[in-house]
Amino acid sequence: MESRTQIEETAARWVARRDRKDLSQADEQELAAWLQASIAHRVAFIRLDSMWREANRLKALGAGVGVGVVPAPGEWQRSPFLGKKAPQGRPVTVQTASGKPRNRPVVRLRVLAASVLVGAIAVGTAWMMKSAGPAYQTHVGSIEGVTLADGSRVLLNTDSKIRVEISATERRIQLNRGEAFFDVAKDPTRPFVVVAGEQRVVAVGTKFSVRRFEHRSDEVQVVVTEGRVRMEPPTSAVKLPPVTVAAGNIARGSGAGVLLDAQPERPVDEYLTWRTGFLMFRATPLAEAAAEFNRYNATKIVIDDAAVGAVRIGGNFRSDNVEVFVRLVERSFPVRVERHGERIVLTAN
Amino acid sequence: MDEELDNWFAREVLSHEPALVRYLARIWPRHHEVHDLRQEIYIRVYEAALRSRPQNPKSFLFTTARHLMVDRVRRERVVSIEATADLDALNVLVDEISPEHHTSARQDLRRLADAFDMLPVKCRDVVWMRKVEELSQREVAARIGITEGAVEKRITKGIRLLAELYYGGDADDIGGATAAARTETEHGKQNAD
C-alpha cells in the first residue's frame, strides 16, 4: 500500500506540474486518472492545491521590496501589512514613565513589575472599605459564572474574587484577586470599569479578561476578544495617557506603565482556554506550566531545578488533571517525580 | 470529479486542520502517527461527503477523528490508560477544546510568512519569485540558471513543506500527549535543500 508521504509527494508534484500551466492533454488525463484511483489521492491533492493557492497571499510581502531581490528571512517584516517586529519576534510597545514609547521585548516587563508604588496600597485599601456592593469569589480549582444586575456576565477563574458596585453613572468591578472574563452589556451611559490594583480597565460593550498575579501584585494582564477597552494607568505623580487595547490584543499594566502586545504570537482565545477547563501550552517553560497548574489545584508542583524548569512543553491539558500532566512529563523527559503529601517535586533524573 | 465538493472540502474541512492536528497530538501518544491519522480522517470525511454533505462539517470532522482513535485503541490495545481515559472525558468537549480561533487576516498572513521563512533557502527563493514576483516557472528557471525540471522540484518541495508548517503544523511543535520539548534554534533551523 502507498504510504501517506508517498501520496503527498505525488500530489505535490502534480500541483507543481500543473503550476507550469503547460499540461498536455495526456498529462491532464494522467492526473485525472490518478485522482480517480483513490480518495486518499484526492484529499491529498485538494489539500496541497489549496495550500499553493493560499500562498498567493505571500504577494503582500513584496511591498517595498525591489524586483529581483529575495529578502532574507524576517526582512519582509518591514511590510506595512505586518507592522514592525520586535527583536524577539513580537511587536510590543512600552510606555515608560517619561511618556516616550519604545520598542522592547516582553522580558522587559519583569523589570517594570518590580517597581511598586507603596503609596497606592493605602489608597486601594481605603476604596475597598467604602465599597458596599456584592462580592463573589471562587475557590482553588473552581470556575463560576455570575450575571450582574446590568446584564453583564462575569466568569471567575480559580481562586478569584471580585466586588461589584453598580451606580447610575458607573459600573465598577474591583478585581481583588485572580482572573475574570467579562462579557459586558452595552450601556454607553455607564462605563464598565474593572479596577485591579492601581490599574483601571474601562469598557463600554465588549469582551475581555483581567488577571492579577499572586506574586506580582501591581501587575495586571488584559486580554480583549471583542471590541476595545481603555487602560487607565494609576493616578500617580507622573501623568501617563490611557492606552487603548483592541480585540486580539494583550496588554500588561504595572505601576510603571502599560505594555501592549498588538500581535500576540498566539490567538487571544488560547490565553482564555481556562473558560472551558483547559490549559494550553506551546513551547512553554515547564516552570511556567507548573505555576499555571498550581493556580487550579491544591496539589502543588514544585520544581527546584532550573534546568528542569526550563524544559519547554506543549499541549492541552485539563486544568484539574495535574496527575496526568506530571505522568506525561515524567515519561517524556529525564525528570524524577517524588510525592510529598500535597507537593509533587520534580528534579532532574 | 466534483469540483464543488473539492472546494467545499478545502473550505469547510481543511480550514480546521490546525485545530485537528492539535487535537490529535494532544490525545494520541505516538506523535509520528498524527499526520497519518489526519489523512485517514480526511478520507473518511470525504467519502461520507460524497454520499451527503454533513450539516456541521467541523463537528463531523472531530467526531470522525474521535471514532477513528477509539477504533484504533480498541483494535491495538497499545495506547496508554491515560490517553484512553482522556479520550472518554473529551467526548462532550470536542467543540470546546477546538474553539474557533478568530484569527485576523493579518495573523494568517503572519503565519504564512513565518512558514515561508522556514523553507530551505533554495526552495524559498523559487517560491518568492513564483508567488511574489509572479514569474512563471520558465522565467524562474531562466533567472537563476537552472532547468525547469529543477524549478518544479523545488516548488514540489515548497508546497509540501508550506502545508506542513502552515496548515498542519508539525505535530512535535504543537506538542500534546507526549509533551514535546523544543528549543528556539531547533524551531528556526534551515534544512539543507
Q: Are residues A239 and A320 in the same domain?
A: no
Is A141 in the same domain as A220? yes
Asked if residue A219 belongs to a domain, the reply is yes
Q: Which chain B residue's Cα is nearest to A271?
A: B101
Q: Please check whether residue A218 lies inside any domain of the structure.
A: yes
Number of domains in chain A: 3
Put simply, the answer to whether B175 touches A65 (Cβ < 8 Å) is no
Q: Which of the residues A47, A268, A279, A330 would you substitute to probe the B interface, choosing the one with the greatest number of B C-beta atoms within 10 Å? A: A47
Residues A103, A76: one domain?
no
Do both A110 and A250 map to the same domain?
Answer: yes
In angstroms, what separates the C-alpha of B12 from chain A's closest C-alpha? 12
When CB atoms are compared, the residue of A55, A267, A282 closest to B127 is A55
List b or e across A80-100, with b for residues whose CB sees 16 or more CB atoms inside 10 angstroms: ebbeebbeeeebbbbbbbeee
Give the per-residue pLDDT at B40: 94
Same domain assignment for residues A244 and A318: no
Domains of chain B listed by start with CATH number: 3-97 (1.10.1740), 105-188 (1.10.10.10)
A266 lies in some domain: no
Contacting residues of A for B101, CB less than 8 Å apart:
267, 269-270
What does DSSP assign to residue A184? P
Asked if residue A179 is part of any domain, the answer here is yes
Answer whether A314 sits within 8 Å of B173, measured CB to CB.
Answer: yes
Beta bridge pairs of residue A145: A155
pLDDT at A81: 52
Provide mean pLDDT across the span A4-15. Answer: 94
> Which of A261, A296, A319 finishes a domain?
A261
Is there a domain that residue A54 lies in?
Answer: yes
For the segment B1-14, the average pLDDT, to the nearest whole number, is: 87
Q: Which chain B residue's Cα is nearest to A309? A: B181
Output A133-138 pairs: Cβ under 8 A, ≥24 positions apart: A133/A163, A133/A164, A133/A165, A133/A166, A133/A172, A134/A163, A134/A164, A135/A161, A135/A162, A135/A163, A135/A164, A135/A176, A136/A161, A136/A162, A136/A163, A136/A164, A137/A161, A137/A162, A137/A177, A138/A178
For residue B39, give the nearest of A4, A35, A74 by CB distance. Answer: A4
A24 burial class (0-12, 13-18, 19+ CB within 10 angstroms)? exposed
Q: Which residues of B touch A225 (CB under 8 A)?
A: 102
The pLDDT of A81-99, averaged and rounded, is 37
pLDDT greater at residue B72 or residue A55 = A55
Candidates B110, B120, B116; CA nearest to B189 is B120
Amino acid A137: pLDDT: 84
Q: Are residues A193 and A213 in the same domain?
A: yes
Residue finishing a domain among A83, A111, A128: A83
Phi/psi of residue A91, nearest 5 degrees: -75, 120
Cα A127 from chain centroid? 31
pLDDT of A243 strictly over 90: no
pLDDT band at A174 (very low <50, low <70, confident <90, very high): very high
Q: How far is B76 from chain A (nearest CA, A)?
A: 20
Do A118 and A11 share a structural domain?
Answer: no
- Asked whether residue A182 falls in the same domain as residue A239, the answer is yes
Instruction: Decide if A327 is inside a domain.
Output: yes
Which is nearest to A240 in space by CA: A133, A98, A145, A130? A98
Chain B contact present for A278, CB below 8 A:
yes
Shared domain check, A165 and A283: no
Asked if A57's CB is within 8 angstroms of B112's CB, the reply is yes
**B178 contacts A331? CB cut-off 8 A:** yes
Q: Is B178 on the interface with A (CB under 8 A)?
A: yes
Q: Domain range holding A145?
A: 92-261
Domain CATH code at residue A159: 2.60.120.1440
Q: Smallest Cβ distance to A324: which of B1, B82, B131?
A: B82
Question: Which residues of chain A are within 8 Å of residue B180 when distances are taken between CB atoms?
Answer: 313-315, 332
Choice between A212 and A60, residue whose per-residue pLDDT is larger: A212
- Say yes or no to pLDDT of A20 above 70: yes
Chain A residue nearest residue B28, CA to CA? A315
CA distance B138 to chain A (A): 8
* Sign, Cα dihedral of A254, A259, A260, A261: negative
Tell me whether residues B166 and A57 touch, CB distance under 8 A. no
**Domain match, A111 and A257 both:** yes
**ipTM of the assembly?**
0.79
- The amino acid at residue B95 is D
Does B144 lie at the interface with A, CB-CB under 8 angstroms?
no
Parallel/antiparallel/unpaired status of strands A171-177 and A192-196: parallel
- Mean pLDDT in residue range A42-63: 89
Q: Is A82 in contact with B106 (Cβ distance < 8 A)?
A: yes
Question: Which residues are CB-contacts of B26 (< 8 A; sequence separation ≥ 6)?
Answer: A315, A316, B97, B176, B177
Lowest mean per-residue pLDDT among A16-20, A130-134, A182-186, A313-317: A130-134
Nearest-neighbour CA in chain A from B184: distance (Å): 9
Task: Say yes or no to pLDDT of B176 above 60.
Answer: no
In a domain, A268, yes or no: no
In a domain, A104, yes or no: yes
- Residue where a domain terminates, one of A43, A62, A83: A83
- Whether B173 has its CB under 8 Å from any CB of chain A: the answer is yes
Instruction: Report the pLDDT value the prediction gives residue B153, as an integer from 0 to 100.
Output: 95
- Tens of pLDDT, residue by residue over A190-204, are 889 999 988 889 986
Pair A100, A247 in one domain: yes
Model confidence band, residue A66 (pLDDT cutoffs 50, 70, 90): low
A interface test, pick of B20, B38, B90, B159 with most A CB neighbours within 10 Å: B159
Tell whether A228 and A317 lie within a shared domain: no
- On whether the CB atoms of residues A262 and A223 are closer than 8 A, the answer is no
With an 8 Å Cβ cutoff, are B35 and A62 in contact? no
CB proximity B180 to A under 8 Å = yes
In this prediction, residue A216 carries a pLDDT of: 78
Q: Which three cell numbers stand for residue A266?
A: 498566539
